[in-house]
């Protein structure tokens, strides 16, 4: 099934930083070995409110359009293989509204796995 990233959330990905997630192979407590991780990803700092809006889309793969056409993303939130890249505190920004009232905006840093999904076209 080809799910497309919802257009209403496309602005969330603007300014996303392309990063490489790396983690060496490790020996687990039971003596077994985990494989090394090396994956392309998008790192995004977004408001807590936006994160709560996209939370239902987590752990599912979505194809992208626009600048990332031919790519698909998966929001990492609770996959144990990627625990060090689970959502993290992105800080708080204090602001003053036009009426002079102070308010703060909380941010979250999230990672989306980034996959190439271009399909070969037969001539």
For 89-106, how does the pLDDT look when each residue is reduced to its tens digit (9 = 90+)? 999 999 998 999 999 999
Model pLDDT, residue 120: 59
Q: Reduced to 3 states, what is the DSSP secondary structure of residue 111?
A: strand
Range of the domain at 80: 7-116
Q: What is the mean pLDDT of the chain?
A: 88
The pTM (predicted TM-score) of the whole model is 0.82
Residue 23 lies in a domain: yes
Residue 1 lies in a domain: no
Question: How many domains, the chain?
Answer: 1
pLDDT at 123 over 60: no
Q: Please report the DSSP string for 43-91 in residue order.
A: EEEEEHHHHHHHGGGTTSEEE--GGGTTEEEEE-SS-GGGGGGS-EEEE
Model pLDDT, residue 75: 95
* 112 contacts 74 by C-beta, under 8 angstroms: yes
Provide the β-strand partners of residue 111.
43
Please provide the size of the chain in residues. Answer: 123
For 52-92, how does the pLDDT look when each residue is reduced to its tens digit (9 = 90+)? 999 999 999 999 988 888 899 999 998 887 888 999 999 99
Cα–Cα distance measured from residue 13 to residue 40, given in angstroms and rounded to the nearest whole number: 15
């Amino acid at each position: 099934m080809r799910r497309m990233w919802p257009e209403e959330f496309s602005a969330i990905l603007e300014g996303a930083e392309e990063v490489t997630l790396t983690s060496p192979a490790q020996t687990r407590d039971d003596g077994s070995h985990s494989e090394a991780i090396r994956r392309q990803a998008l790192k995004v700092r977004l408001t807590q409110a936006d994160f709560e809006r996209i939370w239902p889309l987590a752990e599912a793969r979505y194809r992208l359009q626009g600048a990332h056409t031919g790519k698909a993303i998966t929001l990492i939130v609770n996959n144990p293989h990627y625990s060090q890249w689970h959502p993290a505190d992105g800080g708080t920004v204090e602001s003053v509204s036009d009426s002079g009232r102070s308010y703060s905006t909380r941010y979250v840093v999230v990672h989306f796995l980034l996959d190439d999904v271009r399909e070969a076209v037969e001539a």
